[in-house]
A and B are shown apart, each in its own frame.
Chain A
Amino acid sequence: MSDDFRTRARSWLEANAPRRRAADEDEDASPVTLADQKAFQAKLYDAGFAGITWPREYGGQGLTGLEQIAWSLETRDFDLPNGAFFIGLSMPGNTILEVGSEAQKKRYLPPMLRGDEIWCQLFSEPGAGSDVASLQTSALRDGDEWVLNGQKVWTSGAQFSDYGAILARTDPTKPKHNGISMFIVDMHAPGVTVRPLKVATGHSPFNEVFFDNVRMPGDALIGEENKGWDAAVVMLRHERIAIGTMGGFRTNPLGYESLRDVAAGLGRTGEPGTRRRLAELYARQRATGLFATLLREEAQVGRMPGARGSVAKLAGSDLGRFAGNVAEDVLGDQLAAYDSDEIAAVATMIVAAPGNAIAGGTSEIQRNIIGERVLGLAKDPGVDRSTPFNQLRVGTQRQN
């Protein structure tokens, strides 16, 4: 990779992107609107920094993983206002690039990169989370078209998405992995209903999406019919990589720096127990960051992280839980009730921590992946791989 790219990236970011705020700076009063995000993504595209590794014929830059890593490193100091495109580009985008048809690549990838169209990912269902292959949303052929019925859940960005990559069952007589297909669904089509999903923190970062006789054209299929699981595996791999390389938040209220300041403010940094807890948090937090750095360094010399991305995700979730415990030690009863923003932020993060161990693949699934694909242990024994889906118990169905 030429240093030119990195220099060019740095100077463009300096001129066009807001810097990350430090913990003690005030929050910016004006929230970033969707229009702002679209405008920023278009600027990024025009400057030649969108789709760095994607081929030129689909609007990409045709560069290598080295330029992609250089870009990630340079952007760490900036707060890019294009989060609405994160999911689309890293998951459905990369999947269409790998397994989509030529017509799909030409039609959908350039507008995605330019910021004209926003995408979401529709996998999880109320009855199919960790075991997403047991999904029940169905797509049935009707002439040249497909008819979609069912419910998806935990969909980020569905409320402002133009398209979604959705998994649906196309043959319930086959074993569960062999009767699924992946489609492109128009989120503005009649029969699509998006409802915000309120979570334990009281916020609504996700949606539920309902499909009621939604018609999809014949060419909406990504990859082959009943081969949707293969496409899903591709997308899940991209999801783990995207999550694993997101980088930490420098202003985390549950971070060592924040909790140390809180402890100092409460006059507790002289207590041996508190000092030890904070020191251990420092060590764990730092090691989690160092491991991500190590994975990046390995990728730079061509050793891809593969399933070790799951180690990074598991470590991040565990760190959140540990930090919550430290915060409880540091704050004591001051955490039970509060009227300060500082403590409210800590409490919200503790309440949110279990979500990180569920979203993007639960910690239990990550441990399966680490055990099977990093350590090479045998797969779980199970009846679900060979039984026709319509004879399988799924979700919370009672046995008849």
Chain B
Amino acid sequence: MALILTSEEQALADSVRRFVADRSPLTSLRHLMAAGEPYDADVWKQMTAQLGLAGLTIPESYGGVGAGYSALSVALTELGAGLVASPLLANLLAAEVLLRLEDTEASDDLLPKIAGGELIATLATASQAGGRVTASGSPIGATLTGTVSPVLNGAEASVLIVPAEADGVTGLYLVDAGADGPTATRLTAVDHSRSLARITLDGTPARELAGDAVAALAAAQDLANLALASESAGAMKACLDMTSNYAKIRVAFGQPIGAFQAVKHRLADMEKSWELGYAAVRDAARAGDAEPGRFPAAATAARVLLAPAYADAAVDTVQLHGGIGFTWEHDAHLYYKNGMSNKVLLGGPGDQLDRLADLLGI
């Protein structure tokens, strides 16, 4: 399999890009921000029903598209470029966990609904600093107690998959966000395009899912790394294009500012970091489909490179635009905050380097 896009992947990229431009331009994100809404329900419906994005990694037998990681990465790159607010990542991680576990009942029930965009599911996982959950009772009649934060779309999800410990053993538990469900408190997310919540469980009823919870969580981490690296690749390219274009039209000291090496060289370095990061994302996406044994290290390496590179590029985007780039009206801060968030969500840079070192056997 090649690093360059196949014609099908290119077509998918083009259609998602058109969709973002038509249906979810950055002005839409501004509307959501003003209204305090986590995402646009109509846009989400089209992303799932029309583009099939929630089912890209779900097999056709469960109502998904079964297209694989490479296609998913291509779509996420375009969505990331447009900072499209949606519960897609939450659903992808929940689906990944279900696909790795061996709980037929949950898979048969939930995967078709996730693929069809009929429900929002999330994986309630965070770093140790984000709290911990303990389970008690029997696997079928378990109860969970504890807190987790931040949880992707925790306030919007109707189904949560919660890692919890019972006697020192990690299990994954299915929790309904109904009347007896957990308390979800939507937090102030630094990134305007993500909805994040604190989940508080207090004797909340749950059912333990069958299968290897530790392996499923590792797979979810790999997918999260590929997804966040892909989104970051798209968003970083958007920053590079935005800033290069500005450097061509903004004049200072009688020259377009891009003529000055202080500006030009910073953009050249941004281009270099983007090219390297993008190549690493393509490698990870390809490995996800064709060389699963290599996928964990490849996905982690891509995230290790791209998350900080994008965050730096977003800072440079503000800086090279000068004062206008630091205003609320300008889009630079939307990327800056997204870059910050992408860097730390689901494991920050140090955690990812530790994970990569483990995977490489250093």
The answer to whether A binds B is yes
The answer to whether A378 and B258 have CB atoms under 8 Å apart is yes
* CB within 8 Å for A269 and B255 given contacts A290-B280, A375-B267: no
The answer to whether B264 and A272 have CB atoms under 8 Å apart is no
The answer to whether B360 and A370 have CB atoms under 8 Å apart is no
B residues adjacent to A (C-beta < 8 A): 2-4, 240, 244, 247-248, 254-256, 258-259, 261, 263-265, 267-269, 271-272, 275-280, 282-283, 301-302, 304-305, 350, 353-354, 356-357, 360, 362
Residues of A within 8 A of B278 (CB): 294
Kindly identify which residue among B255, B264, B356 contacts A368, using a CB–CB cutoff of 8 Å.
B264
A-B contact pairs, 20 of them (CB 8 A): A260-B360, A275-B353, A276-B353, A279-B362, A283-B304, A283-B356, A287-B276, A287-B277, A287-B279, A287-B301, A287-B305, A290-B280, A293-B3, A294-B278, A294-B279, A297-B4, A368-B264, A378-B255, A378-B256, A380-B261
Residues of A within 8 A of B2 (CB): 297
The answer to whether A276 and B248 have CB atoms under 8 Å apart is no
A367 vs B261: C-alpha distance in the bound complex, in angstroms? 9
The answer to whether B255 and A381 have CB atoms under 8 Å apart is yes
Seed contacts A279-B353, A308-B275, A374-B271; 15 additional CB < 8 Å A-B pairs: A283-B356, A284-B305, A287-B276, A288-B276, A293-B279, A294-B3, A294-B278, A311-B275, A367-B269, A370-B267, A375-B267, A377-B258, A378-B256, A379-B259, A381-B254
Residues of B within 8 A of A282 (CB): 301, 356, 360
A243 at the interface (CB under 8 A from B): no
* CB within 8 Å for A370 and B282 given contacts A291-B276, A297-B4: no
The answer to whether B304 and A279 have CB atoms under 8 Å apart is yes
Residues of B within 8 A of A107 (CB): none
A269 vs B354: C-alpha distance in the bound complex, in angstroms? 12
CB B39 to nearest CB in A, in angstroms, measures 32
The answer to whether B282 and A294 have CB atoms under 8 Å apart is yes
* CB within 8 Å for A367 and B265 given contacts A287-B276, A297-B2, A376-B244: yes
Kindly identify which residue among A263, A283, A298, A370 contacts B280, using a CB–CB cutoff of 8 Å.
A283
CB B354 to nearest CB in A, in angstroms, measures 7
The answer to whether B279 and A290 have CB atoms under 8 Å apart is yes
Per-position binary interface string of chain A over residues 257-286, scored 1 when its CB falls under 8 Å from any chain B CB and 0 otherwise:
000100100000100100110111011101
* CB within 8 Å for A294 and B280 given contacts A377-B244, A377-B256: no
Residues of B within 8 A of A283 (CB): 280, 301-302, 304-305, 356
The answer to whether B301 and A314 have CB atoms under 8 Å apart is no
* CB within 8 Å for A278 and B362 given contacts A283-B305, A377-B256: yes
Kindly identify which residue among B271, B301, B304 contacts A311, using a CB–CB cutoff of 8 Å.
B271
A8 vs B82: C-alpha distance in the bound complex, in angstroms? 49
CB contact list, A365-394 vs B, under 8 A:
366-368, 370-372, 374-381
* CB within 8 Å for A272 and B354 given contacts A293-B3, A381-B259: yes
Residues of B within 8 A of A269 (CB): 362
Kindly identify which residue among B271, B277, B301, B305 contacts A370, using a CB–CB cutoff of 8 Å.
B271
Residues of B within 8 A of A219 (CB): none
The answer to whether B3 and A377 have CB atoms under 8 Å apart is no
A381 vs B264: C-alpha distance in the bound complex, in angstroms? 12
* Secondary structure type dominating chain A contacts: helix
A287 vs B304: C-alpha distance in the bound complex, in angstroms? 11
A371 vs B360: C-alpha distance in the bound complex, in angstroms? 36
A380 vs B255: C-alpha distance in the bound complex, in angstroms? 9
CB A376 to nearest CB in B, in angstroms, measures 7
CB B74 to nearest CB in A, in angstroms, measures 15
A140 at the interface (CB under 8 A from B): no
A301 at the interface (CB under 8 A from B): yes
A97 vs B282: C-alpha distance in the bound complex, in angstroms? 37
A380 vs B276: C-alpha distance in the bound complex, in angstroms? 26
The answer to whether A371 and B280 have CB atoms under 8 Å apart is no
B276 — nearest CB in chain A belongs to which residue? A287
The answer to whether A311 and B357 have CB atoms under 8 Å apart is no
Select the residue from A288, A301, A377 with max chain B CB neighbours within 10 A. A377
Residues of B within 8 A of A366 (CB): 268
Kindly identify which residue among A275, A288, A290, A315 contacts B357, using a CB–CB cutoff of 8 Å.
A275
The answer to whether A286 and B280 have CB atoms under 8 Å apart is yes
A116 at the interface (CB under 8 A from B): no
Residues of B within 8 A of A275 (CB): 353-354, 357, 362
A315 vs B305: C-alpha distance in the bound complex, in angstroms? 13
Per-position binary interface string of chain A over residues 294-332, scored 1 when its CB falls under 8 Å from any chain B CB and 0 otherwise:
100110010000001001001100100000000000000
CB A371 to nearest CB in B, in angstroms, measures 4
A288 vs B283: C-alpha distance in the bound complex, in angstroms? 12
A263 vs B356: C-alpha distance in the bound complex, in angstroms? 16
Per-position binary interface string of chain A over residues 71-105, scored 1 when its CB falls under 8 Å from any chain B CB and 0 otherwise:
00000000000000000000000000000000000
A331 vs B263: C-alpha distance in the bound complex, in angstroms? 36
A364 at the interface (CB under 8 A from B): yes
CB B296 to nearest CB in A, in angstroms, measures 13
A287 vs B275: C-alpha distance in the bound complex, in angstroms? 9
A379 vs B2: C-alpha distance in the bound complex, in angstroms? 35
Kindly identify which residue among A279, A318, A367 contacts B360, using a CB–CB cutoff of 8 Å.
A279
A286 vs B277: C-alpha distance in the bound complex, in angstroms? 10
The answer to whether B272 and A311 have CB atoms under 8 Å apart is yes
CB A308 to nearest CB in B, in angstroms, measures 7
A279 vs B355: C-alpha distance in the bound complex, in angstroms? 9
Kindly identify which residue among B255, B268, B302, B357 contacts A375, using a CB–CB cutoff of 8 Å.
B268
B244 — nearest CB in chain A belongs to which residue? A375
A270 — nearest CB in chain B belongs to which residue? B362
CB A173 to nearest CB in B, in angstroms, measures 28
Residues of B within 8 A of A288 (CB): 276
A370 — nearest CB in chain B belongs to which residue? B268
CB B268 to nearest CB in A, in angstroms, measures 4
The answer to whether A367 and B264 have CB atoms under 8 Å apart is yes
Residues of B within 8 A of A308 (CB): 275
Residues of A within 8 A of B272 (CB): 311, 314-315, 318, 370
Kindly identify which residue among B4, B268, B350 contacts A294, using a CB–CB cutoff of 8 Å.
B4
A282 — nearest CB in chain B belongs to which residue? B360
The answer to whether B350 and A276 have CB atoms under 8 Å apart is yes
CB A186 to nearest CB in B, in angstroms, measures 40
The answer to whether A377 and B354 have CB atoms under 8 Å apart is no
